[in-house]
């Protein structure tokens, strides 16, 4: 691993807890509120995991990567400015669908992706169960369940960041339609 700080972008829908994860990872004081759109500009911080230093960028919430409002414009710009960065797509476990949309868009860009499945506790309370292993298999990128607000799963997330990888959306489509049973890059993800 290089000694240079590796970059991580936290991307996802508004109000899924990106800033909470950011604060948990970096020990920063990004403002956190319970309404969408709290982070309108990006915030940067650093942390160290497994002797590797990471620069984390908390990107404003976006529903898609079509720059429809200022926050999404910033999100798109950040993705383009940091082409070498690992992208952590944060999903709200209680409403995964809309988050998956932007996750797919990121994967289609050929980025190295890790999925953080946040608010697992809330999903549990609402009797929603998410099969994170199945999701991982289908997407071909690591999926880490966590509850950022209490800090549960944050360590796993920081450990898994180096296992983030790119995936091909055509394969995802094939697997989702049941045309291929094994993920093509499963080997790279064997340990996760």
Partner 1 sequence: MQKEEHPNRHKRQVVQGADMVLNEDQRWSLVDLLAKQTISAGTYKQTVWDVIGELTVKPLTGIPVAFAVLYAFWSVFGSFAGALCTDGFFVKFFDNHFLPWMQAIWPDPNSILYFLFVGDPLADNCFEAFGVLTSGLFIAIGVVLPAVLIFYLMMAILEDSGYLPRLAVLVDTLLHKMGLHGYAIVPTILGLGCNVPAITATRILETKKQRFIMMTLLAIFVPCGAQLGIMLEVIPESVGYVMLFLLIGYVVFGYLLSKIVPGTNPEILIDVPPYHMPQRANITKKLWMRTSGFIINAVPFVLLGVLFINLLYIGGVIQWLSDVFAPVFVHWFGVPKETAGPLIAAFLRKDLAVAQLSNIEMTQYQMISAVVLISIYFPCVATFVVMLKEGWKELLAAVGVLFAVAFIYGGIIHAIGILLGVA
Question: Using the rule CB under 8 A, is 44 a contact of partner 1?
Answer: no
Question: Using the rule CB under 8 A, is 139 a contact of partner 1?
Answer: yes
Q: What are the structure tokens assigned to 68, written together?
A: 């429809």
Q: Which of residues 87-116 bind partner 1 (CB under 8 A)?
A: 94, 96-98, 100-101, 104-105, 108-110
Report the alpha-carbon distance of residue 64 to residue 104 in Å, rounded.
10
Task: Name beta bridge partners: 6.
Answer: 54
**CB 110 → partner 1: shortest distance, Å?**
6
Report the alpha-carbon distance of residue 136 to residue 138 in Å, rounded.
6
Question: Using the rule CB under 8 A, is 172 a contact of partner 1?
Answer: yes
For β-strands 86-92 and 6-12, DSSP reports them as parallel
Question: Using the rule CB under 8 A, is 81 a contact of partner 1?
Answer: no
Distances in whole angstroms, Cα of residue 135 to Cα of each of 7, 30, 33, 104, 144: 25, 30, 29, 12, 10
Q: Determine which residue in the list 3, 4, 51, 127 makes contact with partner 1, applying CB under 8 A.
A: 127
What does the binding site for partner 1 look like in residue numbers (CB under 8 A)?
A: 13-15, 29, 31-38, 40-41, 63-71, 73, 76, 79-80, 94, 96-98, 100-101, 104-105, 108-110, 122, 126-132, 134-135, 138-139, 149, 169-170, 172-173, 176-177
């Amino acid at each position: 691993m290089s000694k240079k700080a590796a970059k991580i972008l936290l991307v996802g829908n508004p109000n899924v807890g990106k800033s909470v994860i950011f604060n948990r990872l970096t020990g920063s004081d990004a403002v956190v509120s319970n309404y969408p759109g709290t982070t309108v500009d990006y915030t940067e911080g650093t942390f160290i995991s497994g002797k590797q230093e990471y620069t984390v960028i908390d990107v404003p919430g976006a529903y898609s990567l079509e720059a429809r409002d200022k926050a999404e414009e910033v999100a798109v710009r950040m993705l383009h400015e940091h082409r070498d960065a690992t992208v952590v797509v944060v999903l709200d476990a209680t409403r995964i669908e809309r988050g998956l949309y932007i996750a797919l868009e990121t994967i289609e860009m050929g980025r190295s992706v890790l999925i953080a499945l946040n608010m697992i506790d809330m999903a549990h309370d609402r009797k929603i169960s998410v099969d994170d292993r199945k999701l991982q298999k289908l997407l071909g990128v690591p999926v880490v369940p966590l509850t950022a607000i209490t800090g549960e799963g944050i360590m796993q997330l920081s450990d898994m960041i180096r296992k983030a990888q790119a995936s091909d959306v055509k394969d995802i489509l094939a697997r989702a339609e049941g045309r291929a049973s094994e993920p093509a890059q499963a080997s790279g993800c064997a340990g996760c």
